Amino acid sequence: MISQAAIYRGDKTFTLEQKQVVAPGPGEVQIKVAYCGICGTDLHIYLGHMDKRVGFERTIGHEMSGTVSALGDGVSGFTIDQPIVVRPLDHCGDCPACRAGHEHICHNLKFIGIDTEGAFQEYWNVPVHTLHALPDGLDLSHAALIEPLAVACHDVDRGRVAKDEDVLVIGGGPIGLLVALVARHAGGNVIISEISENRLAYAAKLGFKTINPKTEDAADQANALTGGKGADVVFEVSGTQPGVDLMTAAASTRGRIVMVAIHASKPAIDMFQFFWRELELFGARVYRPEDYDRAMKLLSEGVVDCNSFITDIKPLADIQGAFEALTGNPSAIKSMIKISGETA
Ligand SMILES: [Zn+2]
Ligand SMILES: [Zn+2]
C-alpha cells in the first residue's frame, strides 16, 4: 500500500511524496489521518526557525483527527475504523518529571510531529498510549481542533479561573481565542487584547470585550473594564515585550499570570509588581491526558463555533499553498489540511 506524505525540505518548501506504508510496530497503532490543522509551530518550522531541530526530511503536523487502520502487536482497547485523536507527546517514563507524574513535561519529551514523524500524511504510526477515542457524532474536521483546545484547557486549569473572575487574554490568535472561550466557559468575564483588526472583529463577534493596544492604553483600558482593580487572571499569549509589560500592569492584587507564549528571547519583566501586588506567575506547557478529555467534552458541547473558527480546508496536495497563504494573512483563524476521506 502507498501513502501520500508531505515532507518539509527547508526553505519554505514541502514536497509531496509516495511512501510505502509501514505496518505498526509492537505497541503502535496505524492511523488513517483525516484532517490536520496548521499550528503556529508548524508555521515556525515552515519559515525555517526550527531547522536545527526538525531537519529537512520530516513530515510534520500534529493537530489531527483520524481513524484506526491497523493495530500492532500487543495493542488492545481500539478497533479498526474507530475515530480517534492523538495526543502528540512521547515521554521517557524515567526522568524526574515523569517519576513525579508530570509526563507531559518530561525532561526528554519528544513532540510527535516535530521531533518525530507527524500527521501531514495519509497513514501514520503512533504509540497506542497517545490515542484518545472520540465520542460519537463528532465531525472529524472539528475534532482536529481538540489539540489546540487541550492547550487552552491546560492553560485555564493552570490559571484556576473561577466564576465571575475578570480574565485578560493578551493575544487573540487561535490559542488566545480558545483560552478566552474556555475561560468564559469556566465562568470568567473575559477581555481580549489584540492588535489585528480582523482578530478583534472575530473576538467581538464571539461576544468578548476587546482592547486594541495600538489605539488605546491597554493597561488603563483593562483597569477601566474591571472596575479599576485589574484582571484576576492574565494569560500572556502574545510572546511580545508589550504583552509582558501589559501582563503585570493589568493584573489585580494577588492576580495570577499564566505564561502561555513561547518567548524566543528573555523579555524584561516588571518584578516590582510581583512584590507590590503579590502577583503569582504560572508556566503552562502543552497538556495532560485529562486536558484532552476536557477538550473533547467542550467541543462536543459546542463551546467552540468550529464552522467560523476553521477558516479554510485545503487538500494535502495544496499544503504548500496553504502555508504560503497563511504567512501574513490577517483574516485566517485556523487553516486545516484534509488528508484523506470523502470530499465534503
Ligand atoms: Zn499545535
Ligand atoms: Zn521523562
List the domain boundaries for the chain.
2-145+304-338, 149-283
Centre of ligand 1 to C-alpha 298, Å, is 18
Centre of ligand 1 to C-alpha 148, Å, is 5
- Per-residue pLDDT tens for 276-325? 999 999 999 999 999 999 999 999 999 999 999 999 999 999 999 999 99
CATH topology of domain 149-283: Rossmann fold (3.40.50)
Centre of ligand 1 to C-alpha 98, Å, is 22
Q: Which residues of 200-232 are buried (b: 16+ CB within 10 A; e: fewer)?
A: bebbeebebbbbbbeeeebbebbbebbeeebbb
Centre of ligand 1 to C-alpha 88, Å, is 9
CA distance 103 to 268: 30
Ligand in closest contact with the CA of 64: 1
Centre of ligand 1 to C-alpha 113, Å, is 10
Q: Is 41 annotated as catalytic?
A: yes
Judge whether 243 and 261 are in contact, CB under 8 Å.
yes
Ligand in closest contact with the CA of 45: 1
Mean pLDDT for the stretch of residues 141-146: 98
- Per-residue pLDDT tens for 165-207? 999 999 999 999 999 999 999 999 999 999 999 999 999 999 9
CA distance 87 to 130: 5
Ligand in closest contact with the CA of 97: 2
Q: Is 116 annotated as catalytic?
A: no
Amino acid 343: pLDDT: 47
pLDDT confidence bin for 328, thresholds 50/70/90: confident
CA distance 250 to 220: 8
Output the CA angle 185-191-196, nearest 5 degrees.
Answer: 115
Q: Which residue shows C-alpha cell 485523536?
A: 85
Amino acid 108: pLDDT: 98
C-alpha distances in Å from residue 173, one per residue of 108, 119, 152, 180, 294: 29, 22, 12, 10, 21
Mean pLDDT for the stretch of residues 37-49: 96
Centre of ligand 2 to C-alpha 262, Å, is 21
Given 41, 67, 226, 248, which residue is catalytic?
A: 41
Given 15, 44, 253, 327, which residue is catalytic?
A: 44
Mean pLDDT for the stretch of residues 99-123: 98
Judge whether 267 and 244 are in contact, CB under 8 Å.
yes
Estimate to the nearest angstrom the gap between the alpha carbon of 233 and the chain centroid.
20
CA distance 198 to 204: 10
Centre of ligand 2 to C-alpha 292, Å, is 19
CATH number of 2-145+304-338: 3.90.180.10
- Per-residue pLDDT tens for 82-110? 999 999 999 999 999 999 999 999 999 99
C-alpha distances in Å from residue 210, one per residue of 19, 189, 191, 192, 336: 47, 12, 5, 5, 26
Ligand in closest contact with the CA of 104: 2
Relative to beta strand 28-37, strand 334-338 is: antiparallel
